[in-house]
């Protein structure tokens, strides 16, 4: 059940690597380097899921989370980081992030997390539509 994913990652090589893995798994991936670009993409497109680095230039990952959960499509949010500052992670999770992964990423774990989140969302959406 592939979906459309927004990936916000400041390091180009990491961004390209994650984007390639997601595309190879059938996801449509829009990749951006910073928080401002993520906010612009969220305003222009509908995403099923947002993956964002906690430490970003311009705006923080927590600010991206806050924006993402308030757009009409209500994408799920997965955080990634190299530097696990517990306060940043806690703030982002408190704002609505669904999952958290440390770099270097274990792609199997990240893909499993994405699949579980999107599957649960699909089931919830199906249940809501059946009731109406």
pLDDT tens digits, 23-48: 999 999 999 999 999 999 999 999 99
User: pTM of this prediction?
Assistant: 0.89
Euclidean distance between CA atoms 85 and 98, whole angstroms: 17
115: domain CATH number? Answer: 3.40.50.2300
pLDDT tens digits, 57-105: 889 888 999 999 999 989 999 999 887 677 767 777 787 888 888 899 9
Q: How many domains does the chain have?
A: 1
The answer to whether the CB of 62 falls within 8 A of the CB of 89 is: no
Contacts of 84 (CB under 8 A, 6+ apart): 102
Euclidean distance between CA atoms 70 and 110, whole angstroms: 23
Sheet of strand 28-32, all strands in order from the earlier edge strand to the far edge = 28-32, 4-8, 49-53, 76-81, 99-102
Q: Exposed (0-12), middle (13-18) or buried (19+): which is 93, by Cβ within 10 Å? A: middle
pLDDT tens digits, 108-130: 999 999 999 999 887 876 665 55
User: What is the domain extent for residue 104?
Assistant: 4-131
């Amino acid at each position: 059940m592939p979906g459309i994913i927004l990936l916000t990652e400041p390091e180009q090589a990491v961004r390209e690597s994650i984007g390639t893995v997601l595309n190879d798994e059938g996801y449509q991936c829009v990749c951006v380097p910073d928080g401002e670009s993520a906010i612009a993409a969220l305003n222009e497109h509908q995403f099923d899921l947002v993956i964002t680095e906690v430490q970003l230039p311009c705006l923080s990952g927590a600010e991206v989370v806050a924006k993402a959960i308030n757009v009409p499509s209500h994408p799920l949010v997965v955080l990634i980081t190299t530097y696990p500052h517990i306060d940043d992670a806690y703030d982002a999770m408190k704002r609505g992030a669904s999952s958290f992964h440390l770099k270097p990423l274990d792609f199997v774990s990240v893909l499993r997390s994405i699949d579980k989140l999107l599957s649960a969302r699909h089931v919830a959406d199906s249940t809501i539509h059946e009731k109406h």
